[in-house]
Amino acid sequence: MISTFARLNSQASTAAALPLLQLDNWDPDDTYDESPPTCVHYSIEWKLQLRKGRLSKLTNDTEQDRVLAPGAFWDTTLKNKVNKLLRQKTPRGKNYVPEETIVIVSVNDRGERDLTKRFDEFNIDWRMAEEQLCRWSNLFRAGKKLRIDISFICKEEHQGSRVVQLQAGRGSATARQLAQRDQLLETQEAAGQPRVWKDVYDLMRCNGNLCPGSYCYVDEQRKHMGLNTNILTKMVEYAEQGNELRTHRDVPPYILDMIYEKERLDGERRTKRKAPSSESDRPIKIVNVLPSPYSHSTTEGCTPPSSNFGTVSPSVVDLADLVIPKPIDRAVEDYTEWLCDQVEDERWKAGFRSAGSITKADCLDLRHVYQDRDIGYYVNQGVKAGIARSFVQDIKMWADSL
């Protein structure tokens, strides 16, 4: 006996193809919910992406139950929406332009293959999508769902050279810090957040001849002590709480302790660099593999068995170049979704989301996760080794793409 669905499908295949509505025969106030349908219905799922080395998703949206032809819908609605979001969501002072568009037309029928097309910039030939939707109109009439997935990919348009000319002898780390801090400020302003970040960075920017372009605290003896991103962030948090921070004398004692401790460690590193470099005198560098700083004790105070993955000593990883211009909890969510965007396999996505959930459950800062490099912490909680390694080690790559 032929099933009901098969019979309907057979009847639909012999019926005339349903049309897509164009502007001249489309009524925006009509719901077009007739049964049986008189025109093709479809949905659009689109996302706006920026190319910064890897692709990063800026925003996405869904247009449900469309009946107006894709080309007409693009001209009247979607094009303006995408261009507006591109202006609103990107940092000020930077200009992003269309690079390419990927269009995928699909139907949830195993017997039909997706139609995928690539177009330069936003120059999309919508006829191919419209023709494919019309070919599948009988499948729609039989109960199948039609969908168009669109990826709008944009790139930064460089306005001349943006390279900062530094004095000879200054390392590339300083250049990266300056670029990341400038990007941080642009991101804060683009998000409409207060200018506290800019005010604090301007206050601590050093104008001395010995360290141009860097950030320093100057004590009462006029001694300059370099500041890293972690200390500057603490200053911003202090100012955002309503505390006065107009001069260097307003820096609170607990931040001064951080500054002096950094100065002490910097001095020790400088001393080590000046030590004899002959093979016999060169000190042996030992990197200890430590137990996880996040390990959970078992009952009776026992330590859980260690995994084959250890923890890199925090002293080996420098956080000065790691700038994450987001609230700590939001950063974990955004980083997790960024990792998911890099893969297609749902098992990988589930693994990354599991690692993200573990991170949020223990209230961990991504900066400290990156510093500790404790892959075993995630593996011991059921995360696959490869997923754990990517989650721990790709934080800097993600932060640099922001």
**pLDDT values of the chain reduced to their tens digit, one per residue, 402 residues:** 444 444 445 444 446 789 999 999 999 888 898 888 889 999 999 999 888 766 778 888 999 999 999 999 999 999 999 999 888 887 767 788 999 999 999 999 988 999 999 999 999 999 999 999 999 999 999 999 999 999 999 988 765 434 333 343 444 444 555 555 555 555 555 544 456 777 888 888 876 655 644 688 888 888 888 888 888 888 888 888 878 888 999 999 889 988 888 888 888 887 877 666 555 455 555 555 455 555 544 434 433 434 445 444 444 566 666 888 788 888 999 899 989 988 888 889 999 999 999 999 889 999 989 988 888 889 888 899 899 999 999 998 888 777
CA Rg, the chain, in Å?
A: 28
Q: How many domains does the chain have?
A: 3
| Nearest CA-CA partner of 198 in 255, 163, 240, 165 | 240
Q: Which domain holds residue 358?
A: 311-316+324-401
Residue 286 falls inside a structural domain: no
Question: Is the pTM above the cut of 0.85?
Answer: no
Establish if 301 belongs to a structural domain.
no
Neighbours of 198 (CB within 10 A): 15
Query: Contact 133/20 with Cβ under 8 angstroms?
Result: yes
Angle between helices 328-341 and 346-361 (to 10 degrees): 170
Q: What is the DSSP string of 161-198?
A: -----PPTT--HHHHHHHHHHHHHHHHHHHTT--THHH
Task: Please indicate, yes or no, whether residues 106 and 190 belong to a single structural domain of this protein.
Answer: no
Which residue in 57, 56, 74 sits closest to 66, CA to CA? Answer: 74
72 and 215 assigned to the same domain: no
Residues 80 and 120 in one domain: yes
Give yes or no: residues 236 and 332 share one domain.
no
CA-to-CA distance for 141 and 139, rounded, in angstroms? 5
Round to whole Å and give the CA distance between 83 and 101.
13
Q: How far apart are CA 40 and CA 105, in angstroms?
A: 14
Strands in 54-66's sheet, in edge-to-edge order, are: 54-66, 42-52, 146-157, 95-107, 115-120
* Residue where a domain terminates, one of 157, 190, 215: 157
**CA–CA distance, 290 with 314 (Å, rounded to integer):** 10
Q: Are residues 208 and 134 in the same domain?
A: no
Residues 6+ apart with CB under 8 A from 338: 56, 57, 398, 401
153 and 213 in a single domain? The answer is no
Residue 284 lies in a domain: no
Residues 44 and 188 in one domain: no
Instruction: Examine residue 75 and state whether it is found in any structural domain, yes or no.
Output: yes
**The token pair that represents 76 in the structure block:** 């009247």
